[in-house]
Chains A and B, each alone.
Chain A
Amino acid sequence: RKEVEQDPGPFNVPEGATVAFNCTYSNSASQSFFWYRQDCRKEPKLLMSVYSSGNEDGRFTAQLNRASQYISLLIRDSKLSDSATYLCAVNIIGLGGKLIFGQGTELSVKP
Protein backbone atom coordinates (compact mmCIF):
# COMPACT_ATOMS: atom_id res chain seq x y z
CA ARG A 1 0.00 0.00 0.00
CA LYS A 2 1.32 3.43 -0.90
CA GLU A 3 2.08 5.74 2.01
CA VAL A 4 -0.09 8.49 0.57
CA GLU A 5 -2.83 7.75 -1.94
CA GLN A 6 -5.06 9.94 -4.03
CA ASP A 7 -7.61 9.34 -6.72
CA PRO A 8 -5.59 10.19 -9.86
CA GLY A 9 -8.65 11.44 -11.72
CA PRO A 10 -8.91 13.26 -13.99
CA PHE A 11 -11.85 15.17 -12.62
CA ASN A 12 -13.64 17.02 -15.40
CA VAL A 13 -16.10 19.56 -14.03
CA PRO A 14 -17.98 22.58 -15.39
CA GLU A 15 -17.26 26.06 -14.13
CA GLY A 16 -19.08 26.80 -10.91
CA ALA A 17 -19.10 23.19 -9.77
CA THR A 18 -18.00 22.01 -6.35
CA VAL A 19 -15.34 19.34 -6.40
CA ALA A 20 -13.82 17.32 -3.57
CA PHE A 21 -10.52 15.48 -3.44
CA ASN A 22 -9.61 12.88 -0.88
CA CYS A 23 -6.24 11.64 0.21
CA THR A 24 -5.44 8.77 2.56
CA TYR A 25 -2.21 8.18 4.44
CA SER A 26 -0.98 5.00 6.05
CA ASN A 27 1.48 6.18 8.71
CA SER A 28 -0.24 7.14 11.95
CA ALA A 29 2.88 9.10 12.96
CA SER A 30 2.06 11.63 10.27
CA GLN A 31 2.41 15.05 11.75
CA SER A 32 1.60 17.72 9.20
CA PHE A 33 -0.52 17.78 6.11
CA PHE A 34 -0.57 19.94 3.04
CA TRP A 35 -2.26 20.45 -0.28
CA TYR A 36 -0.03 21.58 -3.12
CA ARG A 37 -1.08 22.70 -6.57
CA GLN A 38 1.00 21.87 -9.63
CA ASP A 39 0.32 23.45 -13.00
CA CYS A 40 1.47 21.68 -16.14
CA ARG A 41 5.27 21.74 -16.42
CA LYS A 42 5.61 23.90 -13.32
CA GLU A 43 6.75 23.37 -9.76
CA PRO A 44 4.38 22.42 -6.92
CA LYS A 45 3.16 25.40 -4.94
CA LEU A 46 1.61 25.28 -1.51
CA LEU A 47 -2.14 25.74 -1.64
CA MET A 48 -3.01 25.13 1.99
CA SER A 49 -1.73 23.55 5.15
CA VAL A 50 -4.33 21.29 6.73
CA TYR A 51 -5.10 21.65 10.40
CA SER A 52 -6.99 19.34 12.72
CA SER A 53 -9.77 21.86 13.13
CA GLY A 54 -10.14 22.25 9.39
CA ASN A 55 -9.38 25.45 7.59
CA GLU A 56 -10.80 27.56 4.83
CA ASP A 57 -9.25 29.99 2.38
CA GLY A 58 -11.79 31.61 0.12
CA ARG A 59 -13.29 28.91 -2.08
CA PHE A 60 -10.98 26.24 -0.69
CA THR A 61 -11.66 24.18 2.42
CA ALA A 62 -9.31 21.55 3.83
CA GLN A 63 -10.22 18.93 6.40
CA LEU A 64 -8.22 16.40 8.35
CA ASN A 65 -9.58 13.21 9.87
CA ARG A 66 -6.83 11.63 11.97
CA ALA A 67 -8.97 8.70 13.10
CA SER A 68 -9.61 7.62 9.53
CA GLN A 69 -6.25 8.92 8.28
CA TYR A 70 -7.47 11.03 5.43
CA ILE A 71 -7.42 14.62 4.36
CA SER A 72 -9.73 16.33 1.94
CA LEU A 73 -9.84 19.43 -0.20
CA LEU A 74 -13.09 21.04 -1.29
CA ILE A 75 -13.17 23.60 -4.06
CA ARG A 76 -16.37 25.59 -4.40
CA ASP A 77 -17.48 27.60 -7.42
CA SER A 78 -14.62 26.22 -9.48
CA LYS A 79 -12.94 28.50 -12.00
CA LEU A 80 -11.17 27.70 -15.25
CA SER A 81 -7.96 28.78 -13.52
CA ASP A 82 -8.37 26.01 -10.93
CA SER A 83 -7.39 23.47 -13.60
CA ALA A 84 -4.21 21.85 -12.31
CA THR A 85 -2.97 18.77 -10.48
CA TYR A 86 -3.57 18.79 -6.74
CA LEU A 87 -1.04 16.95 -4.61
CA CYS A 88 -1.54 16.02 -0.99
CA ALA A 89 1.60 15.77 1.12
CA VAL A 90 2.31 14.38 4.54
CA ASN A 91 5.21 15.11 6.89
CA ILE A 92 6.06 12.30 9.31
CA ILE A 93 7.60 12.86 12.74
CA GLY A 94 11.29 12.11 12.88
CA LEU A 95 11.93 11.92 9.16
CA GLY A 96 13.85 15.14 8.86
CA GLY A 97 11.18 17.20 7.24
CA LYS A 98 10.65 15.06 4.20
CA LEU A 99 7.29 15.32 2.53
CA ILE A 100 5.63 12.22 1.18
CA PHE A 101 3.42 13.10 -1.75
CA GLY A 102 0.42 11.40 -3.20
CA GLN A 103 0.41 10.81 -6.93
CA GLY A 104 -1.76 13.87 -7.53
CA THR A 105 -5.33 14.38 -8.72
CA GLU A 106 -5.79 16.12 -12.02
CA LEU A 107 -8.61 18.66 -12.24
CA SER A 108 -9.92 20.10 -15.49
CA VAL A 109 -12.54 22.83 -15.23
CA LYS A 110 -14.47 23.38 -18.46
CA PRO A 111 -16.47 26.43 -19.55
Chain B
Amino acid sequence: DTAVSQTPKYLVTQMGNDKSIKCEQNLGHDTMYWYKQDSKKFLKIMFSYNNKELIINETVPNRFSPKSPDKAHLNLHINSLELGDSAVYFCASSGIAGGPETQYFGPGTRLLVL
Protein backbone atom coordinates (compact mmCIF):
# COMPACT_ATOMS: atom_id res chain seq x y z
CA ASP B 1 0.00 0.00 0.00
CA THR B 2 1.25 3.49 -0.83
CA ALA B 3 1.94 5.44 2.36
CA VAL B 4 2.23 8.94 0.89
CA SER B 5 0.81 9.46 -2.56
CA GLN B 6 0.86 12.48 -4.86
CA THR B 7 -0.95 13.36 -8.05
CA PRO B 8 -0.08 14.07 -10.71
CA LYS B 9 3.36 12.53 -11.06
CA TYR B 10 4.21 14.78 -13.99
CA LEU B 11 2.83 18.21 -14.81
CA VAL B 12 3.76 20.20 -17.89
CA THR B 13 2.08 23.54 -18.28
CA GLN B 14 2.42 27.02 -19.71
CA MET B 15 3.52 30.13 -17.86
CA GLY B 16 0.64 31.98 -16.28
CA ASN B 17 -1.52 28.92 -15.73
CA ASP B 18 -2.90 27.81 -12.35
CA LYS B 19 -2.34 24.23 -11.24
CA SER B 20 -2.85 22.04 -8.19
CA ILE B 21 -0.95 19.10 -6.76
CA LYS B 22 -2.64 16.70 -4.39
CA CYS B 23 -1.16 14.69 -1.56
CA GLU B 24 -2.64 12.00 0.64
CA GLN B 25 -1.14 9.91 3.42
CA ASN B 26 -2.61 6.78 4.95
CA LEU B 27 -0.16 6.56 7.84
CA GLY B 28 -2.40 8.30 10.36
CA HIS B 29 0.18 11.07 10.74
CA ASP B 30 -0.74 14.48 12.14
CA THR B 31 1.75 16.56 10.21
CA MET B 32 2.23 17.02 6.49
CA TYR B 33 4.77 19.01 4.52
CA TRP B 34 5.53 20.36 1.10
CA TYR B 35 9.14 20.47 -0.09
CA LYS B 36 10.60 21.81 -3.32
CA GLN B 37 13.66 20.27 -4.95
CA ASP B 38 15.20 22.48 -7.58
CA SER B 39 17.44 21.62 -10.52
CA LYS B 40 20.49 21.65 -8.26
CA LYS B 41 18.83 18.91 -6.17
CA PHE B 42 18.53 21.21 -3.15
CA LEU B 43 15.53 20.11 -1.08
CA LYS B 44 13.83 22.90 0.83
CA ILE B 45 10.69 23.00 2.94
CA MET B 46 7.83 25.23 1.84
CA PHE B 47 4.93 24.52 4.21
CA SER B 48 3.92 22.34 7.11
CA TYR B 49 0.45 21.57 8.45
CA ASN B 50 -0.48 19.90 11.70
CA ASN B 51 -4.06 18.67 12.01
CA LYS B 52 -5.17 21.00 9.23
CA GLU B 53 -3.43 24.04 10.74
CA LEU B 54 -0.53 25.84 9.10
CA ILE B 55 2.55 25.72 11.33
CA ILE B 56 5.41 26.45 8.94
CA ASN B 57 5.28 28.91 6.09
CA GLU B 58 8.70 29.55 4.63
CA THR B 59 9.45 32.49 2.40
CA VAL B 60 7.33 31.31 -0.47
CA PRO B 61 5.54 33.59 -2.98
CA ASN B 62 1.86 34.18 -2.31
CA ARG B 63 1.13 32.41 -5.57
CA PHE B 64 1.60 29.18 -3.63
CA SER B 65 -1.33 28.31 -1.40
CA PRO B 66 -1.54 25.08 0.54
CA LYS B 67 -4.86 23.67 1.67
CA SER B 68 -5.51 20.87 4.12
CA PRO B 69 -9.13 19.64 4.04
CA ASP B 70 -8.28 17.03 6.69
CA LYS B 71 -5.16 15.72 8.34
CA ALA B 72 -4.68 13.03 5.71
CA HIS B 73 -4.60 15.47 2.80
CA LEU B 74 -2.46 18.45 1.92
CA ASN B 75 -2.87 20.04 -1.48
CA LEU B 76 -0.77 22.73 -3.11
CA HIS B 77 -2.28 25.25 -5.48
CA ILE B 78 -0.03 27.43 -7.58
CA ASN B 79 -1.32 30.53 -9.35
CA SER B 80 0.27 32.30 -12.31
CA LEU B 81 3.00 29.73 -12.81
CA GLU B 82 6.47 31.03 -13.64
CA LEU B 83 9.45 29.38 -15.30
CA GLY B 84 11.27 29.32 -11.95
CA ASP B 85 8.56 27.16 -10.46
CA SER B 86 9.84 24.22 -12.48
CA ALA B 87 11.06 21.70 -9.91
CA VAL B 88 10.11 18.49 -8.18
CA TYR B 89 7.60 18.98 -5.39
CA PHE B 90 7.58 16.40 -2.61
CA CYS B 91 4.89 15.91 -0.04
CA ALA B 92 5.86 14.31 3.28
CA SER B 93 4.23 13.36 6.54
CA SER B 94 5.32 12.63 10.09
CA GLY B 95 3.74 11.54 13.33
CA ILE B 96 4.47 14.32 15.83
CA ALA B 97 4.55 18.04 15.11
CA GLY B 98 7.79 19.67 16.15
CA GLY B 99 9.33 16.37 17.03
CA PRO B 100 12.08 14.34 15.44
CA GLU B 101 9.78 11.77 13.96
CA THR B 102 10.76 10.28 10.65
CA GLN B 103 9.29 12.05 7.66
CA TYR B 104 7.97 9.86 4.89
CA PHE B 105 8.05 11.32 1.42
CA GLY B 106 5.70 10.91 -1.48
CA PRO B 107 7.04 10.01 -4.94
CA GLY B 108 7.20 13.64 -6.07
CA THR B 109 5.47 15.73 -8.71
CA ARG B 110 7.72 16.86 -11.53
CA LEU B 111 6.51 20.26 -12.64
CA LEU B 112 7.77 21.80 -15.85
CA VAL B 113 6.65 25.30 -16.75
CA LEU B 114 7.15 26.27 -20.39
**Residues of A at under 8 Å CB distance from B?**
31-32, 34, 38, 41-46, 49, 85, 87, 91, 94-101, 103-104
- Min CB–CB distance B27 → chain A (angstroms): 13
- Min CB–CB distance A103 → chain B (angstroms): 5
Q: Can you name 24 A-B residue pairings with CB atoms under 8 Å?
A: A34-B102, A38-B41, A42-B107, A44-B90, A44-B105, A49-B100, A85-B41, A87-B43, A91-B100, A94-B98, A96-B48, A96-B56, A96-B97, A97-B31, A97-B33, A97-B50, A97-B56, A97-B103, A98-B48, A100-B45, A101-B44, A103-B40, A103-B41, A104-B41
Q: Which residue of B lies closest to A94 (CB)?
A: B98
Determine the main DSSP class of A at the interface with B. strand
Q: Which residues of B sit under 8 angstroms from A45, Cβ to Cβ?
A: 105
Query: In the complex, which of the residues B45, B96, B107 contacts A99, with contact meaning CB atoms closer than 8 Å?
Result: B45
- Min CB–CB distance B71 → chain A (angstroms): 14
- Min CB–CB distance A49 → chain B (angstroms): 7
Q: Contacts A87-B43, A98-B56, A103-B41 hold; do A43 and B98 have CB atoms under 8 A apart?
A: no
- Min CB–CB distance A13 → chain B (angstroms): 20
Q: Contacts A44-B90, A101-B44 hold; do A32 and B56 have CB atoms under 8 A apart?
A: no
Per the 8 Å Cβ criterion, residues 76-100 of B in contact with A are 90, 94, 96-100
